[in-house]
Structure 1
Amino acid sequence: MHSWVDGQPASALASLKDRGLAYGDGLFETIAVSAGQPMLLDLHMQRLAQGCSRLAIAADHSLIRSEVLAYAQAMGEGVLKLILTRGDSLRGYSASPEAQPRRILQASPVAAYPEHYASQGVQLFNCATRLAEQPLLAGLKHLNRLEQVIARSEWQDPTYAEGLMRDTSGRVIEGVFSNLFLVCDGMLMTADLQRCGVAGVMRCALLAQAEHLAIPVHITDISLDQLQQADEVFLCNSVYGIWPVRAFTDLSWSVGPLTRKLQGIARTLLDV
């Protein structure tokens, strides 16, 4: 299936003046598509709108939503990537006030992860790459993912399904492409993302579900000591749902009841 650029099918069409290419000046969303429907679309659009507000990108969100719905319908099944850039400009960091945001939609097949990642859990690689602390960009799904690119290049061993990332102060933040949750004495814990990290859509959905189910939640700084003391650990994202974590370095965990409960909810949210 061809990509769409500004609502038009195109096999390969991108401007060399695009600020997304030159500076990573833009945002993206990775959306699971099932039976022609984009999953968790409201949450994806909310995050996109928040990112546009913080980066001062004047996007037409109604138009973007309608294009995503039409593209997903044409896809049927798979993973839809929405890229929104600030548009074209001339040389230099200063953006032209006349720049028009560019919308790019791309389709990929359904992600083919081994079933045992979800059923038995995964082992985490201990990434040496640290996330820089930058509150202005914290939480955003912006186009500059070089930290994740470098971190993912650290391992090729298929024993590891994901890598654990910390910030420059040593706090536990997230996976390379996932958010991280701990369960401690029945309480759900996840990292405070005010300094760095990506505020994932599935993370947001699970926090809302926890509130609905009256599960206590603590969003806070997480240390390696707290990770060691956790009863359950799991990862989440908006494509695969939830993977329990069974091992990290010399630590190990069983797949616990709260992880299984939330995993079932995540499957329902993704219609899988």
Structure 2
Amino acid sequence: MLAWIDGRPAEQLPLTDRGLAYGDGLFETIAVRATRMPLLERHLARLAQGAQRLALPLDLESLRAELEAFADQLGDGVAKLIVTRGDGLRGYAPPPAARCRRILTGNPPAAYPAAHRERGVRLFPCATRLAEQPLLAGLKHLNRLEQVLARGEWQDPAFAEGLMRDTAGRVVEGVFSNLFLVREGVLLTPALKRCGVAGTMRAEILARAAQTGIATQVRDIDHSELLVADEVFLCNSQYGIWPVVALEERRWAVGETTRKLQGLIDDLLGNSP
């Protein structure tokens, strides 16, 4: 595994790091294809928003150069970037002169069955609910305990992903994916004003849909609306798009809009059809 800390090869982290102590930071999981990072601009934009909201003093231009150098070494794979507030003393109060720590790890490309993108996946109905916290909604912050609990709910490999809802029962996302529906020709995805992660691939799909004339809506979606959707699919920055073909007793066919967007995203990521 390739590993850098603050731009240099390293494998040890100080025990005083606030990311370890409090989850005080952000992370990005970045696809690297032949040294390219197809969604780099979207990852940097989300980092900028997160750094502003968490008051992290992050130099994005230096970080861009560091990511590009890391991708050159990695070649093909998954680059995980963790940005923490750096070191601090005991206590929640952020240090007045925080110095962000950048942790980069590189691993081989994520290996998912080709059948997931070709024939679609089944969703597990997670009982774990996402708590509402508008101050953190949309951010990919370091506290992922809700996702850890949700992913622990099933072991059956027949389920590739789990559906997560908020405390009011609205559908929000997958455990590690964003969710889209198609209803009467309109592409829908849940608004993430209360909870959830605003994925980079989600942003890319919304942009591609607009460019190709597909009507889109970003809004609250009730569970009952999911069940009457014409098409359902999941997305993330590593695998692109997976059609959803089942949730409990509900079944869906892989639809035309899903396939159209899937082709565009596969071209972007260099995925083989």
TM-score, structure 1 normalization = 0.98
Matches of 2:89 and 2:153 in 1, distance apart? 36
Query: 2:148 matched to 1:141?
Result: no
- Give distance in 2, aligned partners of 1:173 and 1:110: 27
Deviation at residue 2 of structure 1 after TM alignment: 2.9
Instruction: Tell me the number of residue pairs that the alignment of Structure 1 and Structure 2 aligns.
Output: 271
Partner residue, 2:34: 35
Deviation string, structure 1 residues 188-237 (Cα, Å, up to 9, x no partner): 00001000000000000000111111211111111111111100000000
Task: Spell out, residue by residue over 1:108-144, the C-alpha distance to the aligned partner (whole angstroms, 9 max, x if none).
Answer: 1111100000000000000000000100000000000
**1:156 aligned residue:** 155
Task: Show the 5 A alignment for 1:146-225.
Answer: 146-225=145-224
1:73-112 per-position Cα deviation (integer Å, ceiling 9, x unaligned): 1001110000000110000000111221000100111111
Q: Which residue of 2 aligns with 1:71?
A: 70
Secondary structure of the corresponding residue to residue 59 of structure 1: coil
Structure 1 residue 9 and structure 2 residue 9: aligned?
yes
| In 2: Cα distance, 1:110 partner to 1:190 partner | 27
Q: Give the 3-state SS of the residue equivalent to 2:202 in structure 1.
A: helix
**C-alpha separation between the residues in 2 aligned to 1:161 and 1:256?**
19
Where does structure 1 differ by over 6 angstroms across 4 or more consecutive aligned residues? Answer: none
Q: Distance in 1 between matches of 2:2 and 2:117?
A: 31
C-alpha separation in 2, matches of 1:236 and 1:188: 13
After TM superposition, list the pairs within 5 Å mapping 1:105-116 onto structure 2: 105-116=104-115
Percent of aligned pairs with the same amino acid: 61
| 8 Å contact kept, 2:140–2:197 | yes
**What 5-or-longer segments of structure 1 have no aligned partner?**
none
Q: Comparing 146-155 with 95-104, which one deviates more in the overlay? A: 95-104
Structure 1 SS opposite 2:49: helix
Distance 1:128 1:224 in 2: 13
The aligned counterpart of 2:268 is 269
Secondary structure of 1:190's aligned partner: strand
3-state SS of 1:214 partner:
coil
Distance in 2, matches of 1:133 and 1:107, equals: 32
Measure how far apart 1:271 and its partner are. Answer: 2.2
Distance 1:215 1:2 in 2: 40
Give the conservation status (yes or no) of the 8 Å contact 2:164–2:174. yes
